[in-house]
Amino acid sequence: MQDSYNRQVEYMRISVTDRCNLRCFYCMPEQGICKMDHRDVLRYEEILRVVREGVRLGISRIRLTGGEPLIRPGIESLIRGIKAIEGIQEVSLTTNGQLLADMAESLKEAGLDRVNVSLDSLSPEKYKEITRVGDVQRVLDGIKKCLEIGLSPVKVNVVLMKGINDDEIEAFARLTMILPVSVRFIELMPIGHASHWFKKRYISTDIVLDKLPHLIREGKTIGGGPAVYYRLPEAVGTIGLIGALSHNFCDRCNRVRLTADGRIKPCLHSDLEVDLKPALREGRGDLAHELARAISLKPESHSMGQAGSMNGNRDMYQIGG
């Protein structure tokens, strides 16, 4: 379906849980993590109903996210259910990779097409500082396992943060010399509690071009997303830049987000939400109509970076990125 600005919306990101096995400092507050009531979280059959309606409106690609999607029990059955819906072309997943090595085979067998793995540092100590509890080796093992069994292309998402990991740009780039992965540098966004210290840590993805002057621009994009791709000479992998603030790509926005508690977010950076639960659970209102309404409410552009702008009602772990 086209939104009010003639953009074709064909991609839905679905957060299946707000729970996580990590505590990344920019995504979750240190204290006062607000957990959804289990009764508010959509059951798999409810998610499948939303996807079926979405497909009728032109959605063809689904990404599962969280919190951490791999900690929701039976995630394979959801993947299988989504893949069985006629009109679905691709099911992918964004994960922190802690459980990936163990689950990659069953995910692939369930029909998962590919994964994005979040990895903000290659140093075990720094990785632990950022995630508060994570083990970097498990992520690397997970990536290798995916490549081994052909759960690819694997994209490695790195949120760039000044004074935290901007000294690792070259190290991440070297990863593309030895592994056929796409390392994507993503700009930190002022979402939820991260809005408060965002200015101190934000750094434009342009710094990657300064630090890696030999990058060659790739002609093709991968998956129709917002990243601009490059490659180092002789590299087997690619490097992507996602500059949500420095290079606004809202004119190409093709997505909506479904939160774990059943709300459609037409725009990542807006507090505007359309609650599907009354239609899903109480027969109040029509699901297709509510979904179409949410798509039509997509704003022309986000307001991140503009004075006074702030996404307040959710942290990223409650949206899914």
Which residues bind to ligand SF4, rule: CB under 6 A? 20, 22-24, 27-28, 66-68, 96, 118, 316-317
According to DSSP, the β-strands at 216-217 and 182-187 are unpaired
Instruction: Give the 3-state secondary structure of the chain.
Output: CECCCCCECCEEEEECCCCCCCCCCCCCCCCCCCCCCHHHCCCHHHHHHHHHHHHHCCCCEEEEECCCHHHCCCHHHHHHHHHCCCCCCEEEEEECCCCHHHHHHHHHHHCCCEEEEECCCCCHHHHHHHHCCCCHHHHHHHHHHHHHHCCCCCEEEEEECCCCCHHHHHHHHHHHHHCCCEEEEEECCCEHHHHHCHHHHCCCCHHHHHHCCCCEECCCCCCCCCCEEEECCCCCCEEEEECCCCCCCHHHCCEEEECCCCEEECCCCCCCCEECHHHHHCCCCCHHHHHHHHHHCCCCCCCCCCCCCCECCCCHHHCCC
Query: Which listed option, ligand SF4, ligand SAM, none, makes contact with residue 290 (CB within 5 to 8 Å by class)?
Result: none
Residues 273-302 that bind ligand SAM (CB under 6 A): none
Told to check if 230 binds ligand SAM by CB under 6 A, we report no
Q: Which residue, 55 or 157, has its beta carbon nearer to ligand SF4?
A: 157
Q: Which residue, 55 or 198, has its beta carbon nearer to ligand SAM?
A: 198
Q: Which residue, 98 or 182, has its beta carbon nearer to ligand SF4?
A: 98
Q: Which residue, 132 or 252, has its beta carbon nearer to ligand SF4?
A: 132
Q: Which residue, 23 or 138, has its beta carbon nearer to ligand SF4?
A: 23
Residues 25-54 that bind ligand SAM (CB under 6 A): 26-27
d(Cα 95, Cα 179) in Å, to the nearest integer?
Answer: 19
Binding residue (CB under 6 A) for ligand SAM from 134, 153, 237, 320: 320
Q: Considering only 47-55, 94-102, 261-269, 277-285, which stretch makes contact with ligand SAM by CB under 6 A?
A: 94-102
Q: Which residue has the tokens 């396992």?
A: 145
d(Cα 123, Cα 103) in Å, to the nearest integer?
Answer: 24
Q: C-beta of 17: minimal distance to ligand SAM in Å?
A: 9
Q: C-beta of 292: minimal distance to ligand SAM in Å?
A: 26
Told to check if 68 binds ligand SAM by CB under 6 A, we report yes
With contact defined as beta carbons under 8 Å apart, do 35 and 18 qualify? yes
Query: Which listed option, ligand SF4, ligand SAM, none, makes contact with residue 28 (CB within 5 to 8 Å by class)?
Result: ligand SF4
Told to check if 159 binds ligand SAM by CB under 6 A, we report yes
Q: Which residue, 27 or 78, has its beta carbon nearer to ligand SAM?
A: 27
Q: C-beta of 233: minimal distance to ligand SAM in Å?
A: 28
Q: Which residue, 189 or 264, has its beta carbon nearer to ligand SAM?
A: 189
Q: C-beta of 228: minimal distance to ligand SF4 in Å?
A: 23
Q: C-beta of 147: minimal distance to ligand SAM in Å?
A: 18
With contact defined as beta carbons under 8 Å apart, do 11 and 264 qualify? no
Told to check if 188 binds ligand SAM by CB under 6 A, we report yes
Told to check if 64 binds ligand SAM by CB under 6 A, we report no
Binding residue (CB under 6 A) for ligand SAM from 82, 191, 256, 260: 191
Positions touching ligand SAM (CB under 6 A) are 20, 26-27, 65-68, 94-96, 118, 157, 159, 186, 188-189, 191, 194, 316-317, 320-321
